[in-house]
Amino acid sequence: MTGRRRIAAGHKAWSEGFYAREVRQSQQRRASFATSSRIPVKPLYTPADADEDRYLENLGFPGDFPYTRGVYPTMYRGRPWTIRQYAGFGTARQTNERFHFLLKKGQKGLSVAFDLPTQLGYDSDDPMAESEVGRVGVAVDSLEDMRVLFDGIPLETISTSMTINATASILLALYVALSDERGLDRRKLSGTIQNDILKEYIARGTYIFPPEPSMRLVQDSLLWCAENVPNWNPISISGYHIREAGSTAVQEVAFTLADALAYVAAGVGAGLDVDVFAPRLSFFFCAHNDLLEEVAKFRAARRMWARIMRDRFAAKRAESLRLRFHTQTAGSTLTARQPENNVVRVTLQALAAILGGTQSLHTNSLDEALALPSDNAARIAVRTQQILLEESGVAATIDPLGGSYAVEALTNEIERRASDLIERVEAMGGMVKAIELGFPQREIEAASYEYQTSIERGDRKVVGVNADVDDGETAVEAFTMDPEIGKNRVAALKRRKAARDGSAVSNVLAELDRAAAGNGPLFPSILEAVKASATLGEICGILAKRFGRHREKPSIG
């Protein structure tokens, strides 16, 4: 009997005995197991489950196509992941102080959160911004705010990620303008603007303009960055917000890569060589609770992207085929009840991201289900990553779960299901058309409903919520906002507008209007506008007059 037949026979005998025992114990345990994507989980995996025929082709080596085991040959043995905490609240000065605090605690890169008015293109003194100024992120209206936000921070050595989408071009222009003021070489700037507008229509809602002109702005920033800031990532295609909206792991991979397909097509359509801009595309994923599924998800996404870029876009450079990604732990899994349990959840999720091969990582703070992170909670979040790096041993070997029959089987199944979902999107005409038809929105809504009802039925256990509930709760001192922030911001902005050269502002806004009316580049006009002290709200107002404002169509049925 061959080795494979012996394994198969042994597995058959084991399975028969296992299921006989399982029937007897069915009243004392859950009847079935499945991942968050409803992929059935077997009680035991063998080589046959890992697709032996394609095993070596799928697996490969770290740094080699199809990058299942990692995008770099040495991974964390050569360079650890970047510890990058998401921070931003209140005024630019307050956030600057938090940045310095985090850098002193060992953070290696900055990740900026902006308030809703900044994300939606409103100045702090706009009536639409009332009660939201500085609440969920930092308020940035003009170049003066950018000067304060990055005061004392060396832009030429610190990598800065900005979670901003509809107004991404404006925030990038502000960052570049600040760099120019300091006399820095633009080509040394490194960082990321999220700039993933398609997922805003799918999952998050912070859009301003309709999809077509929004894609024009994305395409425009791709072109400008490729020519002027080659170390900058002009788009971070985000699955994080798709997952936080309630998608499954499979949907997160599929819809994120479908968005990326649209952006690559836009770059190629603008005349860019795919191997010029594709190496600077980055991705942003969520790390959820299902450890093995999450590890498999990251590995499948890497493999799928490598094949998409090679086979569909004829990319030649290895850098164009590598899916580099940032990960954030899942905010939607954090609980207000027994918040100390969130430290364990975040650690588990961070471990999944690391075992999955992330390039940078943000760990959520234990109190984020209650308020913005306190200094102490932010410190614990940073220390969580440092303990994983220095004490756990997970960075000592590359892709330590690679070759696991269970992980390889899950990786294959996620790739198969996500590929099928991408094909459905492409059959509709691509992601922009699919969004207009409401397809990804409906799919995510259905998955979110199923996830929540499974918790309410008690099928899915959440410790401290529907399982192992205590009578008493641990008190956490939540961060509180200064209620006068909005009022003070409005007064300061009005003074700033009164003191600037109004004629110069009018001239640069008129030039931006002419650029928006044509088909040429927009970023140079935006850059000149911010340098002349035009505000974010004024720039968005000019663009909105030309492009209109998007209004979501109600979904029925």
User: pLDDT grade, residue 51 (50/70/90)?
Assistant: confident
Token pair 């077997």 is found at 42
Q: What is the mean pLDDT of residues 188-212?
A: 95
Q: What dihedral angle (degrees, nearest 10) is formed by the CA atoms of 453, 435, 538, 147?
A: 60
pLDDT score recorded for residue 400:
96
Q: Is residue 332 part of a domain?
A: yes
> Using the 8-state DSSP alphabet, how is residue 81 labeled?
P
pTM, whole model, 2 decimals?
Answer: 0.89
Specify if 136 maps to a domain.
Answer: no
pLDDT of residue 15: 63
What pLDDT score was predicted for residue 29? Answer: 46
> Do residues 328 and 350 touch, judged by C-beta distance below 8 A?
no
Of 126 and 1, more confident: 126
pLDDT band at 8 (very low <50, low <70, confident <90, very high): low
- pLDDT at 14 > cutoff 80: no
Domain contains 74: yes
Number of other CB atoms surrounding residue 531 within 10 Å: 18
- What span, in angstroms and rounded, lies between the C-alpha atoms of 51 and 415? 13
- Tell me, yes or no, whether 340 lies in a domain: yes
Is the pLDDT confidence value at 11 over 80?
Answer: no
Overall average pLDDT of the 518-542 stretch: 97
Domain membership of residue 390 (yes or no) is: yes
* Beta strand pairing call for 159-163 and 360-362: unpaired
User: What pLDDT does 557 receive?
Assistant: 47
| Percentage helix, strand, coil for the chain under 3-state DSSP, each rounded to 5 | 55, 10, 35
Q: Cα dist. 327→240, 273, 324 in Å?
A: 8, 28, 10
Per residue in 75-105, pLDDT (tens digit) is 999 999 999 877 888 899 999 999 998 898 8
How far apart, in Å, are the Cα atoms of 76 and each of 60, 71, 298, 320, 408? 18, 11, 16, 21, 21
Which range of residues forms the domain containing residue 296? Answer: 56-87+194-457
Long-range contacts made by residues 452-456, C-beta under 8 angstroms, separation at least 24? 452/246
Q: What integer pLDDT is reported at residue 31 of this predicted model?
A: 39
- How do residues 257-268 score in pLDDT, each as one tens digit? 999 999 999 999
Residue 448 pLDDT level (bands cut at 50, 70, 90):
very high
* 320 close to 274: Cβ distance less than 8 angstroms: yes
Q: Count how many domains the chain has.
A: 1
User: Is-contact 280 234, C-beta < 8 A?
Assistant: yes
Task: Record the tokens describing residue 261, joined without a space.
Answer: 């397909």
DSSP string over 227-271: HH-TTEES-EEESHHHHHTT--HHHHHHHHHHHHHHHHHHHHHTT
Domain assignment present for 139: no
Helix (H), strand (E) at residue 296: helix 291-313
Specify burial of residue 230 (Cβ count, 10 A radius: 0-12, 13-18, 19+): middle
pLDDT at 153: 96
Residue 178 within any structural domain of the chain: no
Confidence class of residue 386 from pLDDT cuts 50, 70 and 90? very high
Average pLDDT, the chain: 91
Distances (CA, A) of 275 to 73, 186, 389: 21, 21, 33
User: How does DSSP classify residue 328?
Assistant: E
Query: How many residues does the structure list for the chain?
Result: 557
* 457-487: pLDDT as tens digits: 988 889 888 888 886 666 666 666 677 777 8
Of 420, 317, 356, 284, whose CA–CA distance to 65 is shortest? 317
Interval 267-274 mean pLDDT: 92
What pLDDT does 27 receive?
Answer: 42
C-alpha distances (whole Å) from 296 to each of 253, 307, 325, 407, 442 are 11, 17, 14, 6, 25
CATH code for the domain in which residue 249 is found: 3.20.20.240
112-155 pLDDT, tens digit per residue, is 999 999 999 999 999 999 889 988 899 999 999 999 999 999 99
Mean pLDDT of 417-421: 98
**Is residue 390's pLDDT more than 90?**
yes
| Of 20-34, 138-152, 175-189, 230-244, the least confident | 20-34
Helix/strand/coil (H/E/C) assignment for every residue in 127-141? HHHCCCCCCCCECCC
What residues contact residue 340 under an 8 Å CB cut-off, 6+ apart?
Answer: 366, 474, 476
Q: Which residues contact 510 (CB under 8 A, 6 or more apart)?
A: none
Q: What is the percent of the chain where pLDDT is above 70?
A: 91
Average pLDDT over residues 317-343: 96
Report residue 69's pLDDT band, with 50, 70 and 90 as the boundaries.
very high
Model confidence at 196: pLDDT above 80: yes
Is a pLDDT exceeding 60 seen at residue 534? yes
**pLDDT of 478:** 65
Whether the predicted pLDDT of 371 surpasses 60: yes
- Is the predicted pLDDT of residue 30 greater than 60, yes or no? no
In a domain, 101, yes or no: no
